[in-house]
């Protein structure tokens, strides 16, 4: 009986998983005072996702390249033009990117991970809570109800936008993404939030 109950609970959680919504908000941003609106259309922009895991890095940079290209730039994953040795050697990386005509770079780095657990008890003075045995009867019946307990995966990312031609930082921000289960989802949602924020900051033209 207990196993059957856990199977029902597992099925309920699995059914709810696809409905989880990834959301990104920026906690802090900075814009270079002299920065002018960026001309993304047709520009070669390299996407760099800093990670010790080659798999995570490749997925992140692939996702970044897709998002950059969707916004009019020529997005290129860094791993497709830089070897591991070149990526770790600033002089070699600079020579390669300069020779290939890259105008800009977007760099992302995960700077924190945490788990937020939220409990929504409703109204404690309601009839279900007022009497001990009334709560006892109701509480045991609702103890496995998924909607009362939510675990959010929170990822904090530092995003830097550079002008390679000027070798200057143009824009920077630290974001918080909730419910990012895959690096593709993280980068996609973060890119959308980044575009809106940079439009708000006057660095990108309105959509």
Q: What is the pLDDT of residues 31-52, one digit of tens each?
A: 988 888 888 889 999 999 998 8
Query: Does the pLDDT of residue 127 top 70, yes or no?
Result: no
Kindly report the pTM of this predicted structure. 0.73
| pLDDT at site 137 | 67
In which band, very low, low, confident or very high, does the pLDDT at 2 lie, cut at 50, 70 and 90?
very low
Any residues with CB less than 8 A from the CB of 128 and at least 6 apart, and which? 122, 134, 135, 138, 139
Residue of 4 and 92 predicted with greater confidence: 92
Residue of 156 and 3 predicted with greater confidence: 156
Residue of 60 and 129 predicted with greater confidence: 60
| pLDDT at site 174 | 93
Of the ranges 17-21, 122-126, 186-190, which is most confident? Answer: 186-190
- Give the separation between CA 130 and CA 136, rounded to whole angstroms: 11
| Domains (range + CATH), the chain | 21-120+146-200 (3.40.50.10610)
Taking only the tens place, the pLDDT of each residue in 67-125 is 999 888 999 999 999 998 898 889 999 999 999 999 999 999 998 887 766 555 555 55
Helix then strand then coil, in percent of the chain rounded to 5, is 45, 30, 30
Instruction: Pick the closest to residue 75 from 175, 157, 195 (CA basis).
Output: 195
Residue of 14 and 97 predicted with greater confidence: 97
Strand, coil or helix: what is 74? strand
N- to C-terminal Cα separation, the chain: 56
């Amino acid at each position: 009986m207990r196993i059957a109950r856990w199977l029902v609970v597992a099925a309920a959680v699995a059914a709810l998983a696809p409905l989880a919504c990834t959301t990104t908000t920026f906690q802090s941003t900075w814009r270079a005072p002299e920065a002018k609106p960026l001309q993304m259309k047709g520009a070669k922009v390299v996407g760099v996702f800093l990670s010790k895991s080659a798999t995570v890095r490749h997925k992140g940079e692939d996702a970044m390249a897709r998002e950059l290209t969707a916004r009019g730039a020529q997005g290129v994953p860094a791993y497709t033009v830089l070897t591991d040795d070149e990526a770790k050697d600033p002089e070699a990386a600079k020579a390669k990117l300069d020779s290939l005509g890259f105008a800009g770079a977007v760099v992302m780095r995960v700077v924190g991970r945490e788990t937020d657990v939220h409990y929504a008890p409703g109204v404690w003075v309601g009839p279900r809570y007022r009497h001990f045995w009334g709560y006892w009867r109701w509480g045991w019946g609702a103890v496995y109800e998924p909607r009362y307990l939510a675990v959010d995966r929170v990822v904090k990312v530092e995003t830097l936008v550079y002008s390679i031609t000027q070798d200057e930082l143009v824009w920077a921000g630290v974001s918080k993404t909730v419910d990012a289960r895959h690096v593709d989802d993280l980068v996609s949602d973060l890119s959308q939030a980044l575009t809106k924020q940079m439009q708000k900051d006057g660095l990108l033209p309105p959509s």
